[in-house]
Amino acid sequence: MAFVSPVSGVGLINPEQHGLHPKGYSSSFHFSCIKFGDSKRHTKNSRCSMVVRSSDANPDIDFSDPDWKQQYQEEFEKRFSLPHLNDLFDINPIQTTFALKCRGSDETEPGERKNGYVNDDDRTLLKVIKFASPNSAGAECIDPDCSWVEQWIHRAGPRKKIYYEPGAVKAGIVTCGGLCPGLNDVIRQIVFTLDIYGVKNIVGIPFGYRGFFDKSLSEIPLSRQVVQNINLAGGSLLGVSRGSASTGEIVDSIQARRIDMLFILGGNGTHAGAHAIHEECRKRKLKVSVVCVPKTIDNDILLMDKTFGFDTAVEEAQRAINSAYIEAHSAYHGIGLVKLMGRSSGFIAMHASLSSGQIDVCLIPEVPFNLEGPYGVLKHLEQLIQTKGSAVVCVAEGAGQNLLETSNATDASGNIVLGDIGVHIQQKIKTHFKGIGVHADVKYIDPTYMIRAIRANASDAILCTVLGQNAVHGAFAGFSGITVGLCNTHYVYLPIPEVITSPRCVNPNSRMWHRCLTSTGQPDFL
């Protein structure tokens, strides 16, 4: 009898780690720890690792049961069902005020799909690839035989029926965490879409969750005129912040402000906080829709193809890499070193290395490496200097933390303050080449804040536009406690707990990482 946990992942996010302290918070989704075998490992500040997790139900699957696949699919459907206002209230929906232009008669012919609107029963597949075996690169299988298992999730978009009277709605928008290209684009599209529905009372909550409880901060009235051109600049019109906040205080503020829809832009920690806010609103039986838009430049939100800001970050990183390349190739025995963002996920470093074609060594958090020794990074740099005369290294900020002194210091969001791997490698390179009597000219570039603050590029601007629109559609459809994202090339709604169980990480056995290794030509540094 074989047993396996059905979904791959890592540890759970603790909301207190990200500045939220729920009062009386209760849910079948637990933030504090996750069971690994017969023991519990606390996952505050946890990083990516290849382990398995389960959801609320029995974590084991008995593959000797002929009905295991049906049972799994039913459990999957239950987990990915979306919380709705009708779970608590008996609300009669009304005809949507979001008018879509259509040709011909309003009558729908038998068998015809009306264009524009999404049916509540519309689904898209979470995964479409069936792997031949678990040994196939990038395979993520439910069972040892990699059987085809249908995993359907809810499609995003405007519905024909809505659960709010637009003229009576007060909508709030808040941007949390750090800066990310595209924040203003999302804010703009949320306001535009609300305006088309007929919502006139729209406010921005300044400086993240702080704006809910800091009495010195006032709401920012928003309208189409106010946000018309904010997408032309980077940053956030509403400001951002990190730090502690009480879920109870936030919901008190939501209740006092009479907010009906709250749109929250942020990453994993912000989503954990949003879920706590959603649960507290349900506990108090408040008719409030809490809808998230995933914002992380690191592209580390589970289940999603990509998050907004990522494409812009990769594109802007090319400037830093190209500068390092020019510096390295213009110097005698030049070595260019670039540190890019990525606390626990190396997507920016990997994609930037692939797209530039100028990187000789790419180091990411998910793949361990040694600097010293016969197979270490420094020895490989020696060979590159001998054969090419120069080298360019790209390292993610979270890579190689085991090589640095550990610290218990945390930032305002509760994240462990990382050691500076870029400076560490820079000094190690200088010391190593000096020790072997070989000249090396090391140029170190850290473009972190320059990348975060710029305007979204065309690809991200389109993604932000659609995410912002679909966030509003989701709220009017009566959903709450959800996030909107691009999954398997389709825009979908997902329950927040399913995307915050861990950061999404680069799979070292994935096709993309293998492509990166082929591009750089680097060996295993172990």
On whether the CB atoms of residues 175 and 148 are closer than 8 A, the answer is: no
Q: How far apart are CA 522 and CA 55, in angstroms?
A: 38
Quickly state the pLDDT bin for 51 (edges 50, 70, 90): very low
Given this chain, do its domains 161-307+456-487 and 312-452+509-520 carry the same CATH topology? Answer: yes
DSSP 351: H
pLDDT in tens, 312-371: 999 999 999 999 999 999 999 999 999 999 988 999 999 999 999 999 999 999 999 999
Enumerate residues 6+ apart whose C-beta is below 8 A from 211: 174, 205, 217, 219, 238
Find out whether 298 is annotated in a ligand binding site.
Answer: yes
Buried b (16+ CB within 10 A) or exposed e, 152-163: bbbbbbbbbebb
Summary mean pLDDT of the chain: 85
% of the chain beyond a pLDDT of 70: 84
The domain made up of 312-452+509-520 has a fold known as: Rossmann fold (3.40.50)
pLDDT in tens, 418-440: 889 999 999 999 999 999 999 99
pLDDT over threshold 60, residue 32: no
Candidates 3.40.50.720, 3.30.1330.40, 3.40.50.450, 3.90.1300.10; correct CATH number of 161-307+456-487?
A: 3.40.50.450
pLDDT over threshold 60, residue 211: yes
Quickly state the pLDDT bin for 100 (edges 50, 70, 90): confident
Find out whether 242 is annotated in a ligand binding site.
Answer: yes
Strand positions, DSSP E, 181-234: 201-205, 220-222
Find out whether 173 is annotated in a ligand binding site.
Answer: no
Quickly state the pLDDT bin for 414 (edges 50, 70, 90): low
Lowest mean pLDDT across 116-125, 345-354, 413-422, 516-525: 413-422
Q: How far apart are CA 417 and CA 409, in angstroms?
A: 6
The distance of Cα 239 from the centroid of its chain, to the nearest Å, equals 19
Tokens matching residue 55: 């959801």
Find the catalytic residue in 185, 195, 260, 298.
298
Find out whether 65 is annotated in a ligand binding site.
Answer: no
Tokens matching residue 203: 């406010």
* 298 a catalytic residue: yes
This prediction's pTM: 0.86
The residues spanned by each domain of the chain are: 161-307+456-487, 312-452+509-520
Q: Give the mean pLDDT of 265-292.
A: 95
pLDDT in tens, 146-182: 888 889 999 999 999 999 999 999 999 999 988 999 9
Find out whether 208 is annotated in a ligand binding site.
Answer: no
Tokens matching residue 148: 């085809």
Quickly state the pLDDT bin for 443 (edges 50, 70, 90): very high
Question: How would you classify the pairing of strands 39-42 and 33-36?
Answer: antiparallel
Q: How far apart are CA 407 and CA 418, in angstroms?
A: 8
Find out whether 268 is annotated in a ligand binding site.
Answer: yes
pLDDT (0 to 100) of residue 18:
37
